Amino acid sequence: MQSKICKGCWQQMHMPVPLRGLASLPFRAFGIRPSRMNPNTCTICELMFSKVMRASKISIDATILFTDIRGYTSLSQAHSAEQVSALLDDFYDACGAAIWEHDGLLNKTMGDAVMAVFNFPIRQGDHTAQALRAARDIQQSWNTKRASLAESFGLAAKDLEVGIGIDCGKVSFGEFGRARLDLTAVGTVVNTASRAQSVAQGGEILVTEAVHDRLEELGGSRGQAFQLKGFDAPVTLYAA
Amino acid sequence: MQSKICKGCWQQMHMPVPLRGLASLPFRAFGIRPSRMNPNTCTICELMFSKVMRASKISIDATILFTDIRGYTSLSQAHSAEQVSALLDDFYDACGAAIWEHDGLLNKTMGDAVMAVFNFPIRQGDHTAQALRAARDIQQSWNTKRASLAESFGLAAKDLEVGIGIDCGKVSFGEFGRARLDLTAVGTVVNTASRAQSVAQGGEILVTEAVHDRLEELGGSRGQAFQLKGFDAPVTLYAA
């Protein structure tokens, strides 16, 4: 569901910034429009650091979600760029819909990898639970799409399964680079979520101990130790 | 060197779109400003597909460059988000300067990974040669920076070396996703460049056979077969 005013500006400044319809036109002339990272927030929210908060980076508690399509590299060798493009269109859309429904930021895409941040610019007391719900929505909506997609590639539906990794905790969020500003989150939590995703099986959601500890509903699941690239000690992950 | 008018608009439409100074102000009011991906092109260039070319994706011959910092994940475990942020700021800046000097697009960053595209929106007959020059500039400028950076992390300069991978050929370039438009390149060339980067040693530039064949100066270098993730057959790469 698309919001008529910017959720971020409303929450943080009690300012009703219109995103859609006639009321939004004067705003658009000044470059204020729905953010590409979350259409329920606006471009002011993206600039909030330098313009409103006067800091280029802040340290926040956030939940980070990574997902990608198993076997993307090998399938893209064997198929046309047009077919692969259509697959990515569908995948980005499925991810965007699920992430935005739970007020997250679709922060980054690189090839078939998608990175989402929960708890900024829209603050959520239960951002870790929201991220897990978004992950389940991605798996579910992708499941309904991938059978017909796989058929168009001459593959089994299983070949297009996605893996998801989630971690939560303190990240540095803001603009990186001096010449080219880039809004993103940085920190161990980001790397752990990314590595958890890379060891997740197709169809699986792997979460860290920190996520497991915050979510009562995961009480029953048992952890497994994984040796992750770049980590000295094994990391315990839970299927969620 | 920063250009006063948009190089992309000038090249493709012979339209002098001012990027800087007084003449640029009326343009800025309409959201036309230097692109974050290449400050010598403008936001019109980013939108050129749907607005000017009436296609959301085009197939072009391009050169793709990937680079990242060896050991980034492990060093970011042991250091504060502030320190890691400062490292990324420096790295993005070094990459941006080198890529823009050679008219490339700093298309994507994700953590310590940087992806650049050469031959769009600024067309270059010698885009593969330009990409290699950019890669060498990145290695060189990073070499002068990383010694002091490594010291601040209590590391050896060697721990902050970067690896680079380059491939060239047909890619699908344009806007991906329907709800969240994302400007990028997709195709085998992109995946091969990314995988070449991941097997490059610190300080190394690995290029594919296609790149090697286009650049006379690489005539003397001998290829080595690599088993890359997602590729069935071994791929021959050349140190450049």
Decide if B235 contacts B225 (C-beta within 8 A): yes
Closest CA to B176 of A78, A84, A182, A14: A84
Identify from A110, A112, A170, A228 which residue to disrupt to test chain B contact, counting B C-beta atoms within 10 A and taking the largest count.
A110
Judged by CB atoms closer than 8 Å, whether chains meet at A76 and B191 is answered as yes
Average pLDDT over residues A182-209: 94
Do the Cβ atoms of A77 and B191 come within 8 Å?
A: yes
Residues B59, B170: contact at Cβ < 8 Å? yes
Q: Taking CB atoms and an 8 Å cutoff, what residues of chain A touch B176? A: 85, 88-89, 92, 109
Is the Cβ pair B85, A176 closer than 8 Å? Answer: yes
CATH class of the domain whose range is B57-239: alpha beta
Cβ-nearest to A88 among B72, B93, B176: B176
| A137, A101 Cβ separation under 8 angstroms | yes
Amino acid at A68: D
Record: contact A73-B178, CB cut-off 8 A: no
| Residue % of chain A over a pLDDT of 90 | 52
Residue B216 has pLDDT above 90, yes or no: yes
Q: What are phi and psi of A132, to 5 degrees?
A: -65, -40
Read off the pLDDT band of B49 (50, 70, 90).
low
Q: Which of A71, A115, A230 sits opposite B73 (nearest CB)?
A: A230
Which pair of tokens denotes residue A56?
């280029």
Residues of each domain in chain A carrying CATH 3.30.70.1230: 57-239
Task: Say if the Cβ atoms of A230 and B72 lie within 8 Å.
Answer: yes
> Which of B56, B176, B190, B194 best probes binding to A when mutated, by most A CB atoms within 10 angstroms?
B176
Q: What is the mean pLDDT of residues A195-211?
A: 97
* Interatomic CA distance for residues A185 and B81, integer angstroms: 10
Best mutation target among B36, B57, B73 (most A Cβ atoms within 10 Å) is B73
ipTM exceeds 0.90? no
Nearest CA in chain A to B112: A186
Average pLDDT of chain B, as a whole number? 89
A216 Cβ contact partners less than 8 Å away, ≥ 6 residues apart? none
The model's pLDDT over B80-92, given as tens digits with 9 standing for 90+, comes to 888 888 899 899 9
Q: Which residues of B touch A97 (CB under 8 A)?
A: 179
Q: How far is the alpha carbon of B31 from chain A, nearest alpha carbon, in Å?
A: 5
Instruction: Count CB atoms within 10 A of the CB of residue B174.
Output: 24
Min Cα separation B212/chain A (Å): 20
Q: Say if pTM beats, i.e. exceeds, 0.90.
A: no
* DSSP class per residue in A26-77: HHHHTT--B-SS-TTSBHHHHHHIIIII--SEEEEEEEEEEEEETTHHHHHH
Sign of CA dihedral B89, B94, B95, B101: positive
Q: In this predicted model, what pLDDT tens digit does every residue of B108-166 receive, in sequence order?
A: 999 899 999 999 888 899 999 999 999 999 999 999 999 888 988 888 888 899 999 99
Q: In this complex, do A84 and B172 lie within 8 Å of one another by their Cβ atoms? A: yes
**Residue A123, amino acid:** R
How many whole angstroms separate alpha carbon A110 and alpha carbon B186? 9
Asked if residues A146 and A95 have their Cβ atoms less than 8 Å apart, the reply is: no
Higher-confidence residue: B70 or A177?
A: B70
> Which residue, among A68, A85, A87, would best test binding to B if mutated, counting the most B CBs under 10 Å from its CB?
A85
Q: Over the stretch A102-134, which tens digit does the pLDDT of each residue have?
A: 999 999 999 899 999 999 888 899 999 999 999
Decide if B178 and A93 are in contact by the 8 Å CB cutoff.
yes
Helices (H) and strands (E) in chain B, counts: 8, 8
Estimate the share of chain B in helix, then strand, then coil, as percent rounded to the nearest 5.
Answer: 45, 25, 30
| More confident position, B36 or B73 | B73
pLDDT of the residue at A180: 61
